[in-house]
């Protein structure tokens, strides 16, 4: 195998990781706003909050399709096993996303049922987030695999650990959503978002601490990674970096620098993500299937890498443009047709 082809699985693992991370930090803020929805005080505030994400949520959610579709494209074995193993939480996530997705369109179409679609937006966002967190927790514990088949049961993912990751993700998304509201709104909503942001930051960091203490004991392999050279450096440095990012978020959200707060929130997610990578790599289905074992042929990975190299930069460019078109504070009156 030629030199480049040898690294295709690693390149693709990085691209899929990037897609999932992008999904989390983008859809994260609009899911976070959904979770905050009943607590925004007035009808006017809810409308304004929803309008601030209406033009972009669809693009945000496309990264979830990229994560799933990408997995099928380059690691089909992992796609099959992971989705089979996490059947229940994934279907719960998909149905919840459907509820909150249609709420964007439906809530403005009716007065009598507007409250119902408000609830759908909140409930869908909350349950989808919990499900995503539980998916992460369930995956980390390592599904039972025999040969090329998932051989565990439908509720193997349920554990205290996955409950913790589920709650952690709720706090994390609220943290991102608060920063977004600080960027996009003013007055009452903005003050509320500042307060919620501070609380959610503390809760998020608390959960990260707990999850970090629990993760090494999920699996001997993780323990080994975290507490032996060179992983131990990581274990020592990351809490420090998390403190720096947390401090950045804290000071920024208290002083109307929403963009800095949002970027600090992203930094927190990136650090957690790297911790995940350290625990799992080179496995893609933890403790059973490696990236290389799950890889399709170099011909498949190479073929779609050409597309990714061409289209991902273009996608990032026009996504950035779409955000730029709708830059600035959102008024209550905007972004309806």
Partner 1 sequence: MSIFDIPTLDLARAQFAFVVSAHIVFPAFSIGTASYLMVLEALRMITGKEVFLRIFEFWKHIFAVVFGMGVVSGVVMSYEFGLNFAHFSDKAGPVIGPLMGYEVMTAFFLEAGFLGIMLFGRNRVNKWIYMFAVTMVAFGTLLSAFWILSVNSWMQTPAGFAMNDVGQFIPKNWWEVIFNPSLPYRFVHMVLAAYLTTALVVAGVGAWHHIKGTADDAVRTMFRMAVAMILVTAPIQIFAGDQHGLNTLEHQPAKIAAMEGHWETSKGAGLILFGIPNPSQERTDYKIEVPYASSLILTHSLEGEVPGLGDFPANERPPMTIVFFTFRIMVGLGFAFAAIGLWGGWLMLRKRLHEPGLFHKVALVFAPGGFLAIIMGWFTTEFGRQPYTVYGHFTTAESVSNLSHGAAWAALIGFVVVYAFLFGSGTFYLLRLMRRGPESAEPVENTPQRAGGVAGAMLANDVTTEKEEAHA
- Which positions from 72 through 111 interact with partner 1, judged by CB under 8 A? 72-74, 76-77, 79-84, 87-88, 90-91, 94-95, 97-99, 101-102, 104-111
Min CB(182)–partner 1 separation in Å? 21
Identify which of 124, 139, 165, 140 has the alpha carbon closest to the alpha carbon of residue 27: 124
Q: How far from chain centre, in Å, is Cα 177?
A: 12
The smaller minimum CB distance to partner 1, of residues 230 and 328, is found at 328
Min CB(70)–partner 1 separation in Å? 6
Identify which of 228, 84, 95 has the alpha carbon closest to the alpha carbon of residue 156: 84
By rule CB under 8 A, what string of x and - marks binding of each residue 204-233 to partner 1?
------------------------------
The smaller minimum CB distance to partner 1, of residues 68 and 138, is found at 68
- Tell me if 332 contacts partner 1 by CB under 8 A: yes
Q: Phi-psi bin for 159: left (phi > 0), alpha (psi -120 to 50), beta?
A: beta
Cα–Cα distance between 97 and 128 in angstroms, integer? 6
- Tell me if 160 contacts partner 1 by CB under 8 A: no
Cα–Cα distance between 244 and 238 in angstroms, integer? 10
- Tell me if 158 contacts partner 1 by CB under 8 A: no
Query: How many of the other CB atoms lie within 10 Å of CB of 41?
Result: 11
Cβ–Cβ under 8 Å, residues 144 and 152: yes
- Number of residues forming the site for partner 1 (CB under 8 A): 80
Cα–Cα distance between 254 and 74 in angstroms, integer? 43
- Tell me if 299 contacts partner 1 by CB under 8 A: yes
> Which residue in this structure is represented by tokens 């950035």?
320
The smaller minimum CB distance to partner 1, of residues 110 and 255, is found at 110
The smaller minimum CB distance to partner 1, of residues 65 and 237, is found at 65
- Tell me if 325 contacts partner 1 by CB under 8 A: yes
């Amino acid at each position: 195998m030629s030199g480049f082809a040898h690294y295709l699985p690693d390149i693709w693992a990085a691209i899929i990781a990037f897609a999932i991370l992008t999904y989390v930090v983008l859809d994260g803020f609009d899911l976070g706003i959904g979770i905050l929805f009943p607590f925004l005080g007035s009808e006017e505030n809810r409308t304004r909050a929803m309008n601030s994400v209406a033009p972009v949520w669809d693009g945000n959610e496309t990264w979830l399709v990229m994560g799933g579709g990408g997995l099928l494209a380059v690691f089909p074995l992992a796609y099959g096993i992971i989705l089979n193993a996490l059947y229940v939480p994934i279907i719960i996530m998909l149905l919840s996303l459907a509820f909150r997705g249609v709420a964007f369109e439906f809530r403005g179409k009716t007065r009598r049922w507007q409250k119902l679609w408000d609830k759908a937006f909140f409930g869908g966002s909350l349950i989808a987030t919990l499900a995503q967190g539980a998916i992460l927790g369930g995956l980390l514990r390592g599904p039972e695999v025999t040969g090329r088949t998932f051989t565990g049961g439908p509720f193997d993912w349920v554990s205290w650990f996955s409950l913790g990751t589920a709650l952690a993700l709720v706090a994390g998304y609220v943290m991102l959503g608060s920063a977004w509201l600080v960027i996009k709104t003013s007055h009452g909503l903005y003050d509320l978002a500042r307060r919620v942001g501070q609380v959610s930051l503390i809760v998020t960091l608390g959960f990260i601490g707990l999850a970090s203490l629990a993760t090494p004991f999920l699996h001997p392999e993780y323990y080994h990674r975290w507490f032996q050279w060179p992983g131990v450096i990581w274990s020592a440095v990351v809490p420090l970096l998390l403190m720096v990012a947390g401090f950045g978020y804290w000071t920024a959200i208290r002083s109307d620098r929403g963009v800095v707060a949002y970027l600090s929130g992203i930094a927190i997610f990136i650090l957690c993500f790297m911790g995940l990578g350290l625990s799992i790599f080179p496995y893609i289905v933890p403790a059973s299937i490696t990236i290389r074992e799950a890889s399709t042929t170099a011909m498949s990975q190479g073929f779609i890498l050409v597309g990714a190299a061409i289209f991902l930069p273009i996608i990032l460019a026009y996504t950035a443009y779409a955000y730029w078109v709708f830059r600035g504070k959102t008024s209550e009156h905007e972004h309806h047709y």
